[in-house]
Structure 1
Amino acid sequence: MTDPVRVRFAPSPTGPLHIGNTRAALFNYLFARRHGGVFILRIEDTDTTRSEARYERQIYDTLRWLKMDWDEAPDVGGPFAPYRQSERRSYYRDAVEKMIAAGNAYPCFCTAERLDELKRQQAAAKLPPRYDGRCRDLPAEERQARLAAGEAHTIRFRTPRFGEIEFRDLVRGRVKVALKNLDDFIMVRSNGDPGFILAGAVDDILMKITHVLRGEDHLTNTHRQLLIFQALGSPPPAFGHLPLIVGDDGKPLSKRLGDLGIFDLRDQGYVPEVLTAHMARLGWAAPAEARNLAELAAAFEVETLAKKPARLGLPDLKHSQARWIRRATPDQRAAALRPFLGDRQPAGLDDRLALFAEEAGTLRELAEKIAALDVPPDFDAAELQLLRTTGSRDVLNTLVAKIETSADFDAAVMTAAIAAAGERTAAKGKQLYQPIRLALQGDLHGPELAQLAAVLGRGETLTRLRRALAAAEG
């Protein structure tokens, strides 16, 4: 590439970042770093009714948490500042005036009520919704008189009625559309706010954006923005449209999954490197050995992105997080777990982490298991029925006696005590292990019993065994 690569992530601060738009940020980031380019964070806050400062702050916080640093943005500035669209209105006005003067745009006085009625008529006739061009060719005198009277209006682009618009998509290859299938789209709303299509195109020109990677759902916007680039006499950036993300059933994401925020996943107990590696695989065959952003960037090639929809794969994400927990060092696990434990920092944390490292899928699950270890179990009716069998009581009584007579206590002593209880009572398998696990943990599944008892210690192990026996007698 001869020109320096300049890409942008341009979210609207109208809600938290979710997997879909964050994946777009990630691919732009990887592309920029792969080619030694510039990664720009631009805030598209022209929707004044929905944009909020708290969501803009959350955009910064989310990208920082994911370790995606930027080169130009509202908070750090840059050669093409400002980077917040609400501060760039004069640029959009200049572009619109230029297009109106050249006959490429015009004011539209149609009311919302008229446009709604037009859509109803088109739907009834089974026609696609499309502006009918009523204001497209108004006499100049009438147009000026209505403007002078202050009549509310939008600004529409005058889309040519004939021909095609074609471009080479970095992901999909050649894409073209007949201009007759595009209507005269709105560039400026009736309240004066620039629309997404106009502002994005003007900013891409002025900020010298070379490549745009974004979701496939923006494909129709690209057709319209290419017309704006053409009208303003500017070469367009190269566009690449990322495949849609679908559910594991191959169907469009439900609202619950589609709105799944990055910080929702963080709060469930996923670490940044697991999330970025997973998102990188949503439409790209990222190398399995790539463990961080630098390694992903070194391998990233936009031409290898997939065209078909990418499955969200939440079970795969959880599996990857569980693998991280197992492979992390004790210090890494302890540091990542700290926000989930809060002020609760139980004694013997390293031992507890080792005990449950194979059991937990996320950091939150790990923290819950560690915290639950401090709470003696209660037993429901089915569990009490199991504890009340003669075999269960014999196992627990024998185990208590064996531990009481042991000079020391550790995992090896507990292993020997369990073996002795099994030999004395002739219990084995579930008959031997289930009453012990219920007594110690209140569950029929969990970590290795001898290690669990060692973490609890002799006193607490005996207390829980005796408590289970008392509950069985009750």
Structure 2
Amino acid sequence: MIRTRFAPSPTGYMHIGNLRTALYTYLIAKKQNGKFILRIEDTDTERYVHGAIDIILDVLKDTGLNYDEGPNIGGDFGPYVQSERKHIYEKYAEKLVEQGNAYYCFCKDDRLSKLREEALKNNTVFKYDKHCLNLTKEKIKKKIENGEPYVIRQNNPIEGTTTFNDILYGEITVPNFELEDMILLKTDKMPTYNFANVIDDHLMNITHIVRGKEYLSSAPKYQRLYEAFSWEVPTYIHCPHIMKNETEKLSKRNGDASYNDLIEKGYLSEAIINYIALLGWSPDSNEEFFTLEELIKNFNYENISKSSSIFDIKKLKWMNSEYIKKMDKEKFHNMAYKYYENIPKQIDKHLLSEMLQNRIEIFTQIPDIIDFLIELPDYDLSIFEHKKMKTTIESSKKVLTEILPIFENTNDYSIENLNSLLNSYISENSYKNGFVLWPIRCALSGKISSPGGSSELAYLFQKDETLRRIKIAINKLN
């Protein structure tokens, strides 16, 4: 059975690259009716952020990436939080020591700092010098009995090569002298990420691993661990970077948008998932819009590109607008309603939602679009001049002056009646529609762009406010 895992560190909000990893991992499992597992890798206590685990759980639930095993639902391979698995790792580290594939290291920080300074001075990459590799068993025993702190390091050879395979990059071979003797077990007996993920992936029967391209350099060290234990190596899929532009990676450390940021800015979860699926993966068709179920059906990890993708917020915004247009009207209204808090009570908010649904790209645009409903802007008279509508300040004043008594003499402010009154006026005077409707719209909204036409706006405001705004416009146009 295909078993994949999403194994985030609880270090803050879910950034876009992390969410794409979760999505691809989920799709690989579900495409083959496999299992999608959530594992929390919290061994880096210094970077741990309180509440981050809840954020991870909420995002996966919100996006529909439902896992089959995980920290809050259990499973046959738990615990699913690494800090709760601390007792597991030490015996595997000790086994590697017994085999000669790892060793105790008692080097103190000052010695390691000097090695790093020398490497920097010589313009070389820092690499531990195996200083503690040949300590005798007696010396090791004595140091441990004396309470000297130690770590356990991987013992990588300095000769020969190590080869591993990746779905996207094929067979990769690296010289062993390039491999760092990475720390497997820290002084507090907590495992490093690099060690724990190998142990856990094996014990949880993980068959496919999706992670960022940046982990390619660590893969040879993981390979040597698998070989040391004589374990089967999972299928690797190292995804290309998501870039903010041609030269900079998208990164939460640089303050780039997280999933939660995008939701707060008014993007829909479905649009975000659809868009990030296409950041590095191409379907066999030219289709751009996919539900999660359609992604499961169409996804093929062999179609993931080796090239980096640029996160184009304009493309996401366009895609989001298409999702908004297709939304159920009541759902749209319920989501938009929180932006109507300061709107006058007489405003028909359901109609307002109908006017907005095909107009916005993201929900947070709503306040700027409807602010005129709360207070008439202090507008410039130039808005009444429109070449296409053939309106001028003088013609606008004339139209508004003639429309005012028509609006005063009716109490029926239904859209149907207002349309009838306006159409009669236009017909009787042989005017073009825009010649009349444009100045009314400007008078009521104080903007060159607003949702709805003249009749809809007059209906929203009803009689008193409609007349008040037309009179203000007439006075301004004098």
Superposed pair shares fold, TM > 0.5: yes
Q: Deviations over 1:174-210 (max 9, x none)?
A: 2222111111111122333210001100000110100
In structure 2, which of residues 14, 19, 23 is the aligned counterpart of residue 22 of structure 1? 19
Q: Which amino acid aligns with 1:363?
A: F
Structure 2 distance, partners of 1:383, 1:425, is 25
Letter in 1 for 2:460: V
Asked if structure 2 preserves the Cα contact closer than 8 Å seen for 1:122 and 1:129, the reply is yes
How many residue pairs match? The answer is: 467
Contact 1:337 1:367 (8 Å CA) reproduced: no
Q: Kindly state the Cα deviation for residue 28 of structure 1 after the two structures are TM-superposed.
A: 0.5
- 1:92 maps onto 2:96 in alignment: no
Task: Label 1:25 to 1:373 Cα distance change in 2 as closer, same or farther (>3 A).
Answer: same
Structure 1 residues 323 and 147 mapped into 2: Cα distance closer, same or farther (>3 Å)?
A: same
Aligned to 1:187, the other structure's residue is in SS state strand
- 1:461 maps to what in 2? 466
Distance 1:420 1:129, change over 3 A: farther
CA displacement, residues 395-449 of structure 1 (integer Å, 9 cap, x when unaligned): 43233234335675455645874995899799997x8776544432232223343
What secondary structure does 1:88 align onto?
Answer: helix
Residue matched to 1:150? 147
State the match for 1:225 in structure 2: 222
Matches within 5 A, 1:65-214: 65-214=62-211
Task: Indicate if the aligned counterparts of 1:422 and 1:432 stay in contact, CA closer than 8 A.
Answer: no
Hey, what does 1:333 align to over in structure 2?
332
Q: 1:266, 1:376 → 2: CA distance? A: 28
Per the TM alignment, residue 42 of structure 1 is displaced from its structure 2 partner at its CA by: 0.4
- Hey, what's the Cα distance between the residues in 2 that align with 1:383 and 1:14? 53
Match of 2:271 in 1: 274
CA contact (8 A) 1:376 1:441 kept: no
The aligned runs of 1:229-308 (5 Å cut-off) are 229-249=226-246, 251-253=248-250, 259-286=256-283, 288=287, 290-308=289-307
Question: What TM-score, normalized by structure 1, do the two folds share?
Answer: 0.89
CA contact (8 A) 2:106 2:149 kept: yes
1:189 and 1:422 map into 2 onto residues whose CA distance is 86
Q: Which residue of 1 aligns with 2:309?
A: 310
Pick from 423, 441, 446 the counterpart of residue 445 of structure 2: 441
- Could you report, residue by residue, the CA deviation over 1:137-159 in whole angstroms, capped at 9, with x for unpaired residues? 23433333222211122211001
TM-score (norm 2): 0.88
Counterpart Cα distance in 2 of 1:375 and 1:385: 19
Q: Does 1:379 align with 2:384?
A: no
Q: Distance in 2 between matches of 1:172 and 1:291?
A: 27
Q: Is the 8 A contact 1:395 1:421 kept in 2?
A: no
What CA distance in whole angstroms lies between the structure 2 residues aligned with 1:79 and 1:285? 35
Does residue 362 (structure 1) correspond to residue 362 (structure 2)? The answer is yes
Residues of 1 paired with 2:292 and 2:180: CA distance?
42
Which residue type is aligned with residue 449 of structure 1? G
Cα distance in 2 for partners of 1:351, 1:256 equals: 43
Mark the CA change 1:343 to 1:459 in structure 2 (over 3 Å): closer, same or farther.
closer
SS in structure 2 opposite 1:81? coil
TM-superposed CA distance for 1:172, in Å, is 1.9
Q: Give 1:467's aligned amino acid.
A: I
What corresponds to 2:351 in structure 1? 351
1:319 maps to what in 2?
318
Aligned amino acid, residue 349 of structure 1: K
> Per-residue deviation at 1:84?
0.7
Q: Percent identity?
A: 30
CA shift, 1:217, in A, is: 1.4
Unaligned runs of 5+ in 2: 386-391
Give yes or no for contact 1:7–1:40 (8 Å, CA) kept in 2.
yes
Alpha-carbon spacing, 1:107–1:469, altered in 2? closer, same or farther (3 Å): farther
Check whether the contact 2:40–2:80 (CA below 8 A) recurs between aligned residues.
yes
Tell me if the contact between 1:109 and 1:135 (Cα under 8 Å) persists in the aligned partners.
yes
Alignment CA distance shift 1:358-1:68 (3 Å): same
Instruction: After TM superposition, give the deviation of residue 326 of structure 1 in Å.
Output: 1.5
| CA distance 1:342–1:230, shift in 2 (3 Å) | farther
- Say if 1:395 and 1:427, in contact at 8 Å, map to a contact too: no
Report the CA distance between 1:224 and its aligned residue: 1.6
Q: Is the 8 A contact 1:414 1:453 kept in 2?
A: no
Q: Which residue of 2 aligns with 1:6?
A: 3
Question: In 2, Cα distance between the equivalents of 1:468 and 1:14?
Answer: 55
Partner of 1:7, secondary structure, is: strand
Deviations for 1:305-352, whole angstroms, at most 9, x for unmatched residues?
111001112111110111112222312312433555579796523311
Higher alpha-carbon deviation: 441-450 or 187-196: 441-450
After superposition, the CA RMSD in angstroms is: 3.0
Give, in whole Å, the separation in 2 of the partners of 1:323 and 1:438.
28
* CA distance in 2 between partners of 1:194 and 1:441 (Å): 63
Distance, in Å, in 2 between the alignment partners of 1:195 and 1:100 is 16
Q: For the Cα contact (< 8 Å) 1:360–1:366, is it kept in 2?
A: yes
- 1:103-159 CA distance string (max 9 Å, x none): 111122222232233222212211122222222223433333222211122211001
Deviation sequence 1:278-320 (CA, Å, 0-9, x none) = 1110111145265321110011111111110011121111101
Does the residue aligned with 2:128 lie in a helix, a strand or coil?
coil
Q: Which amino acid aligns with 1:399?
A: I
